[in-house]
Structure 1
Amino acid sequence: MSVRASAETGAGAEVPVLEGMPVLGSMLDLKTDSLGTYLRAQRRHGDVVRIDVGPPGLRMEMYCVFSAEGAQQVLASESAGFRKDNPFYEEIRDSFGNGLLTAQDADYLRQRRLVQPLFTRRRVDGYAAAVAEETAGTLASWARARDGIVDVSDEMMHLALRAVSRILFGADVDATVDVVHRCFPVITEYVLRRGYSPVNAPRSWPTPGNRRAAAALEELYGVCDRIIAERRGAGREDREGEAGEEGGQDLLTLLAGAQGADGAVFDAAELRDQVLVFLLAGHETTATSLAFALHLLGRHPEEQALAREEIVRVLGDRTPEAADLDRLPYLTRVLKEAMRLYPAAPVMGRNAVAATEIDGYAVPAGATVILAPWVTHRHPRYWSDPDRFDPGRFTPEAEAGRPRYAWFPFGGGPRACIGQHFSMLESVIALAMLLRAYEVEAVDTEVPVSAGITLRAMGPMRCRIRPVEKEEPEGQR
């Protein structure tokens, strides 16, 4: 049903509509190339555009907001008026649980209060050693790379998954990585297919897709439940793990012991929900940022040389630590520019609670509102020559001259990603170690992408890697 048929329209001008097919609207365009469709909508019609999807009677009207000011209104200044009530988030919730990513209202506030103390900067900095050790493992595998070529998309997914699993589960990392690696793709494809379909069969029906997803979920839930039961059985005594500080506790142990001021704790099912969301959001997003940073540097050798010079000058041969984030400003700019061009969350959805006005346009109550960092990060009003790779865009002076939400890869407002400092910590440490050891050259210079739960490369991202030749001290030449 059209939202216009069930809700009053907000004040403001009528929203322009992207041209589509008479019956299906823009459904096929979005299915074939959703990111390109959003870009085309902004280029043709401006910062608020309606995109109609599906046949009459099942049609969904999406109100796409592409300006930094509009993003700030939806995510921050009027965030209470925009909820995660759309079908896509419902599918994520049904598969990955009601964790921080999908919870709302009292559930979300309670979870955030319990989890927030575990993501302070001091606590997260304690995970630096675990990230460095996992990166060392990746470097060891690169030394055996056939023909000196690696697919950085696969490599960074493996690295990020091992790092977040180790920080979550400590010594149980090997028991989880294989299961997550095998099950996550099945579940995410299932979520995507159902989230974008106007009609779905009930999950209880024994269709092939339902059965595959159910088997993957059962295996994934099983390994999480087993580890959680072991933690609960061990009580709340300090447990020596492989990551973190204050007794070396892994994050799951800390989550199991988290307690609010009112005595509230997570039960076993809630713990699993948090673990699944952290696994999903904690490895795919960071892996995407790292892979595209390497890919872009592999296409821009001058910027790569500048990053390596800073890394060698600051670190020498020592292992990077959390304090080095502030000592590697150019490398941080490289990562921010990679996240601008390839945001791990390229599209975000909300539902308008009441009729409202965004950027001077009327948005009705109940409307599906789409934000697209993929488009805003390329908006010519905020970014000159927006498709060009330029880490200089993120000097303090340049950042101060742009609207706050011209760049928002971690979302924003009260629901901003709780793990953004961890993502930057992991990315800077890993990239510093990889670039210090290897020069990278992009073999696949063009990589098609699509919007899934996170941004996905639709082809290989191969890079040729060469060990960096270390200069001998002058006295030994």
Structure 2
Amino acid sequence: MLVHSSTLSNKEIRDQVVSLIAAGFSTTSGAMAWAVYGLLTTPGAWRRAAAEVHAVIGDRAPTGADLSRLTYLNGVVHEALRLFPPAAIWARSVVEEFEFAGKRIGGGSFLLFSPYVTHRLPEVWPDPLLFRPERWDPDRVDYRKPGPHEFLPFGGGPHRCIGANMATTHLTMMLARLVAHTELRLESTKIRPVSPTILRPRHGLLVKILELRNEVGAKTVHTEAQQD
């Protein structure tokens, strides 16, 4: 007779913690850094995002119901994930033989593909190297929803990351609070991405806090503190 334990072993608990840090924390923090980088290096982007948050949310904290109305901020998140996907390279095992671009891929093959490269293909993305949050606005006449094989920050198919929606929600909420309460300045634009597994800025993202507001529209406190 098999007896099933309702508790996890120490090894299983360790494995769950490692998975949570690698798949949940490191990826999201890296994406957050790239979103801030995009906002601070694109003229007018930070103020545009802050104005949208003020118009949609006002002085209260954001809720889930606000997500669909934060169009520009949603574009910021998706542009950060497009230009700097947390995982620059993914791997898949081929179950059934198929043909792609005139080449036959046999069953049992091991494939590597790169969202980082795919997201920068000019035949798929107009001006692929530009940080353009407005490209994600469905109300624009030039909007085109990317296919599942064209936008892959969370992988694709049956093994697509289960935390995709949670990650984009967290990123949007965190950015909403950040742009509403601060004015930042990037100390250096010479930022290099590192690590193909979890793409992040080398040495982090060093910024100077120019303004800090306790509430939206409240009196501004000026500071010279630096954040990494």
TM over 0.5: yes
Q: After alignment, is 420-429 or 353-362 more displaced?
A: 353-362
Letter in 2 for 1:428: T
1:418 to 152, 162, 166: 162
The alpha carbon displacement at 1:457 in A equals 2.0
Q: Deviations over 1:194-235 (max 9, x none)?
A: xxxxxxxxxxxxxxxxxxxxxxxxxxxxxxxxxxxxxxxxxx
When residues 272 and 317 of structure 1 are mapped into structure 2, their CA distance, relative to the original with a 3 A threshold, is: same
When residues 402 and 426 of structure 1 are mapped into structure 2, their CA distance, relative to the original with a 3 A threshold, is: closer
Q: Distance in 1 between matches of 2:92 and 2:162?
A: 18
The alpha carbon displacement at 1:266 in A equals 6.8
Q: Distance in 2 between matches of 1:270 and 1:294?
A: 35
Provide the residue aligned with 2:184 in structure 1: 440
Provide the residue aligned with 2:174 in structure 1: 430
The alpha carbon displacement at 1:439 in A equals 1.4
Matches within 5 A, 1:25-424: 267-268=8-9, 269-396=11-138, 400-424=144-168
Q: Distance in 2 between matches of 1:401 and 1:419?
A: 21
Q: Distance in 2 between matches of 1:324 and 1:439?
A: 22
When residues 265 and 271 of structure 1 are mapped into structure 2, their CA distance, relative to the original with a 3 A threshold, is: farther
Residue 149 of structure 2: SS of its match in structure 1? helix
Residue 465 of structure 1: SS of its match in structure 2? strand
Q: Distance in 2 between matches of 1:409 and 1:265?
A: 35
Q: Distance in 2 between matches of 1:471 and 1:433?
A: 13
Residue 418 of structure 1: SS of its match in structure 2? coil
What TM-score, normalized by structure 2, do the two folds share? 0.82
Aligned residues: percent identity?
A: 33
Structure of greater Rg: 1
Q: Which runs of 5+ in 1 are unaligned?
A: 1-262, 473-477
Q: Distance in 2 between matches of 1:427 and 1:309?
A: 18
Aligned CA-pair RMSD = 2.5
The alpha carbon displacement at 1:369 in A equals 0.8
Check conservation: 1:295, 1:463, Cα contact below 8 A: no
Q: Distance in 2 between matches of 1:437 and 1:462?
A: 18
The alpha carbon displacement at 1:274 in A equals 3.2
Q: Deviations over 1:72-108 (max 9, x none)?
A: xxxxxxxxxxxxxxxxxxxxxxxxxxxxxxxxxxxxx
Q: Which runs of 5+ in 2 are unaligned?
A: 219-228
Q: Distance in 2 between matches of 1:375 and 1:266?
A: 43
2:198 to 447, 451, 454: 454
What TM-score, normalized by structure 1, do the two folds share? 0.41
The alpha carbon displacement at 1:396 in A equals 2.1
The alpha carbon displacement at 1:443 in A equals 1.8
The alpha carbon displacement at 1:270 in A equals 4.1
Provide the residue aligned with 1:463 in structure 2: 207
Q: Deviations over 1:306-351 (max 9, x none)?
A: 1000111122221222222122121111110111111101110123
The alpha carbon displacement at 1:353 in A equals 3.8
The alpha carbon displacement at 1:464 in A equals 2.2
Q: Distance in 1 between matches of 2:203 and 2:151?
A: 26
Check conservation: 2:34, 2:201, Cα contact below 8 A: no
Question: When you count strand as a share of all residues, which structure comes out higher?
Answer: 2
Check conservation: 2:33, 2:201, Cα contact below 8 A: no
Provide the residue aligned with 1:14 in structure 2: none
Q: Deviations over 1:368-402 (max 9, x none)?
A: 31110000000111111110110111122655453
Residue 45 of structure 2: SS of its match in structure 1? helix
Q: Distance in 2 between matches of 1:298 and 1:360?
A: 43
Check conservation: 1:299, 1:441, Cα contact below 8 A: no
